[in-house]
Structure 1
């Protein structure tokens, strides 16, 4: 299998429609089931294969989607991207070790070839998603595993059924940890006691004195200290029950894996498959640092901690990402702080994914916390609100961009039914203070989230790459976001009025209309804060 080489590339200021794009897009739209029809029914109606321009990975992607619909009519939901216009994006997990059919194996090979082609053209996000689709069809494609960041488990070297793992998991094992099914990564010396229902008493983790699990959880309820739980990529401090922390931590790991693939164009190559694609023999290395999250069981502890430890007024916020310069402790990394609020209009995991998006994009762009005080602040909240819609499935796949969210449901009512709109030309010039103006903050968030959704979920892919380039510039530059290259309208080739029409159409046609709108205040719906 050939590996990607550092050839070709996209311009940094514009992303024109590729040759053959219109033909491939029309084919894709022709395959959309109407009136609730199924893909299985369409499989009986052969569609002539499109003429795919050579060296055009976006057109090849669209054609491959159509081809898989024909040859794999019973493919599980999510294994063919973008089931409908502006539908959510599924980042699949590698399949299990079950036997696969020849058709699946052929499809996997095609997706791997697409990944290589996309990488050669430096479409890194498309390449990363294509690799995941290859592994979802054939989990033993060695080149796809290498590109996706997996390595052979050193404990099974030489075994024909050797297990694939990640450098992060190997590093944790070298520290003497084992991954317990219920309690997560624990010291190997704990295993026997943990299997019997015990955990270390507070303050005895290094020389454990074991007590009943419920007692150990209760001892940490005051966060003095709470549990410190290691996951593959995160260190989480919390006074929640340890099992709850482990469950959330595993979701965060899957979230990070999927976000890094979908956002590869916007991140430093060091953290994506680009670092391996440019060198056909390299394998993934541990990231080298851990992302930090602190979760409180109640709002008062959250506010008190931020005020007394960091001099930060959290107000009524549900969560906040504080970059390292704002933390009053030496040598610290940027950290997400949040709390569970059973009365909040936004559920806890929405806040968790929103704030963690701010953290990940700041830490994985290679430049640290961005300057976000100038005009163009919308991009920071647009990308965070897009990823707050995350759903992590039991099979490890991750779904991004579903429109059935609390904010968009209420926003549809206000924008479509009541005609409350924010001119996009105005929105894109707002700085942080004006974006958070109390009288307009809710509608600003609605328009930013809807704009992210129509760009990220566009089945044509090119609008997604425009958005990713804007995110990259916002997080990697030191100037105001609005001054980082051509405007969004110029990049898309649309006037503000045309894009506003598309945004309103998206809200009207793709966000469900609800009969009863809860009385949701802007403060409650937008209490996530990123400083």
Structure 2
């Protein structure tokens, strides 16, 4: 998560904060969540007294005047103790939530029994309900042209997939009659339905498909049948993708194109739209093709190397400037950040003094992240006319890209020493930051937790704001929730065995959002939530809860009803950043989605409850 820190209005930075709390990471969680929080007089005002002392243990409560500040520690079930991401970053804190009726939590009333609730409070609720403007109550929304188009395309997609699955089932059954049970299982896996709650893409093969030998007379060839059915299905998907982009649904269009390439990996149009070109018998990016033509090869351990250097690296030598030295000597010479390893990929230049191999692994993950991000958020980087032109005449061309810079330090101490002069003591509570002055993402190696979630978060800010010069304050007066919410959502990006995924509802950010809503009963209505600008959001007394809510809301807008609001949210994000250049106020989500805030609030509540129940979470069981 990020903090934009201004030094007398000049310096802007986006930070990820880490507390000095000593909670150990959960062995079952390899990433971060959102249960901790910073608290202090600068964030919180004095709190009113509560009748129940236990109620004071609720997370995110205001700090009383004169009370010691710092990270608030509250009890929790063991599975919720984990490295956590909080308001301005990654915070370790043992989190717990005291049991509390949701209505009391939402209204901020004292923790009294329902039977003895204040008559004044009850009257107040009735009065508020009576005078509530009609626009704030949930009314049936108008279905937009884009939503009708999406529903129609999704129905066609489901029908095409059903026919495809039927075809593959016949192939699988025939395989079983020929005692090819493992092949039958593989064929059936190809027909598995898509999980609507996760954006998941299978790896695409680098090599072009080999020719399948023609079967002898009377011989069964499952390969021929399978490839025939997959190609036919990909043709139908390609048609749907073209319709989707014309209907103003770029995210869905690219989702379909990725599925096209999965079932027909040599589909030229799909490959070009995804940024590949053919080089000999491989599909590579223009950047890779240029490297290969220059006789360089990619190695998983050391990145790009001249072909003539690979054997020497395998023998334990390393290139340091113009000299060849041993790997041990190379590590000594690069122990300071004045002479770090530099790993260049198509979109990133990562500098590190920790480890060449670790730096290459991080740079590779960031490159996968960038490719995925550009596809899902295509509507952010391209207007509708450009996207339609791109689909009509897809082409890839080598570009001299200016890489995004990442500085990854060997230790926290070196990271602090580098940035302390600029940011002062505040840098000591961070795990990483994106500096909008020099446009660099800074982070460091932490042996207790992976670096990727922090890097994905900060790289999101870097990607979205890179075109803004000079870097202004984004969402200064309203809509700041989305700036942090989208970056928190991106932390769920995962790469495993070539498969990339985004939005896994089991990620701790989203688990925290459901816990806040369903167990705490904490939720700020969208009318209030979207009205907060940067300062109001960052100084809100319940900022930790609000970061959880922002994460959950982005998941809702990205995945609800198969992505009904996904392109609306991305367009809203584009307009928020565009406002920094043009000054034009972005259209409200109510307008873009054609659903009023009250209806969206209701849909969100139903969405998180249904999701929580499907995951069999204990807190999805409602109080009587």
- Tell me which of 404, 415, 422 is aligned to 1:302: 415
Q: 1:120 to 1:426 in 2, by over 3 A?
A: closer
Q: 1:286: which partner in 2?
A: 399
- Do the aligned partners of 1:180 and 1:186 also contact (CA within 8 Å) in 2? yes
1:488 is displaced (CA, Å) by 1.3
Q: Deviation at 1:321?
A: 1.4
SS at match of 1:458: helix
Separation (CA, whole Å) in 2 of partners of 1:447 and 1:416: 11
* Aligned CA-pair RMSD: 3.2
Q: Judging changes above 3 Å, is the alpha-carbon distance between structure 1 residues 312 and 482 closer, same or farther for their aligned structure 2 residues?
A: farther
Mapped to 2, the partners of 1:399 and 1:241 lie a distance apart of 27
- Among 145, 148, 165, the alignment partner of 2:284 is 165
Q: Aligned equivalents of 1:274 and 1:370: distance in 2?
A: 30
1:232 to 335, 341, 346: 346
* CA distance in 2: counterparts of 1:267 and 1:197, whole angstroms: 43
Q: 3-state DSSP class of the match of 2:598?
A: helix
Query: Following superposition of structure 1 onto structure 2, how do residues 296-335 of structure 1 map, counting pairs within 5 Å?
Result: 296-308=409-421, 313-323=426-436, 326-327=437-438, 334-335=439-440
Counterpart contact for 1:79–1:136, Cα < 8 Å: no
Structure 1 position 127 matched with structure 2 position 267: no
Match of 2:204 in 1: 94
- The 5 A counterparts of 1:459-478 are 459-478=561-580
TM-score normalised to the size of structure 2?
A: 0.64
- State whether structure 2 residue 326 is matched by structure 1 residue 211: yes
Corresponding residue of 1:8: none
For the pair 1:253 / 2:367, whether they are aligned, the reply is yes
Q: Distance in 2 between matches of 1:242 and 1:392?
A: 20
Deviations 1:273-292 (A, max 9, x none): 65633436x43332622111
| Corresponding position: 1:503 with 2:616 | no
1:179 corresponds in structure 2 to 298
Task: Answer yes or no: is the 8 Å Cα contact 1:147–1:273 preserved in 2.
Answer: no
For structure 1, the residue ranges without an aligned partner over 5 or more in a row are: 1-13, 26-51, 157-161, 328-333, 517-531
Matched, 1:340 2:445: yes
1:16 aligns with one of 144, 164, 168: 144
SS of 1:462's equivalent in the other structure is coil
Output the CA distance in 2 between the equivalents of 1:79 and 1:266.
Answer: 31
Q: Which residue of 2 aligns with 1:43?
A: none
Map of 1:390 onto structure 2: 493
Aligned positions, number:
442
Q: Which residue is equivalent to 2:593?
A: 492
SS in 2 for 1:478: helix
Instruction: Compare 460-469 and 496-505 and name the one that shifted more.
Output: 496-505
Identify if the C-alpha distance between structure 1 residues 71 and 459 changes in structure 2 by more than 3 Å, giving closer, same or farther. Answer: farther
Is the contact made by 1:268 and 1:366 (CA closer than 8 Å) also made in structure 2? no
Check whether the contact 2:348–2:406 (CA below 8 A) recurs between aligned residues.
Answer: yes
**Which digits, 9 at most, give the CA deviation of each residue in 1:194-228, with x for residues without a partner?**
1212223xxx33x132212x442343233232211
Instruction: Mark the CA change 1:186 to 1:476 in structure 2 (over 3 Å): closer, same or farther.
Output: farther
CA distance in 1, matches of 2:604, 2:147: 26
What TM-score do you get using the length of structure 1 for normalisation? Answer: 0.74
- Structure 2 CA distance for aligned equivalents of residues 482 and 317 of structure 1: 33
Residue 448 (structure 1) aligns with: 550
Cα 1:79–1:440 shift into 2, 3 Å? farther
Q: How do 1:58-207 and structure 2 match up within 5 A?
A: 59-72=155-168, 82-84=194-196, 87-95=197-205, 97=209, 101-153=227-279, 156=280, 162-173=281-292, 177-200=296-319, 204-205=320-321, 207=322
Q: Distance in 2 between matches of 1:79 and 1:314?
A: 50
Q: For residues 383-418 of structure 1, what are the alpha-carbon distances to aligned partners after superposition, in whole Å with 9 as ceiling and x for unaligned?
A: 1111110011213x3101112122333343333112
Structure having the higher Rg:
2
- How far 1:431 moved relative to its partner? 1.4
Cα deviation 1:416-472 (Å, max 9, x = unaligned)? 112222232221111112222263221111111111101111244331111111111
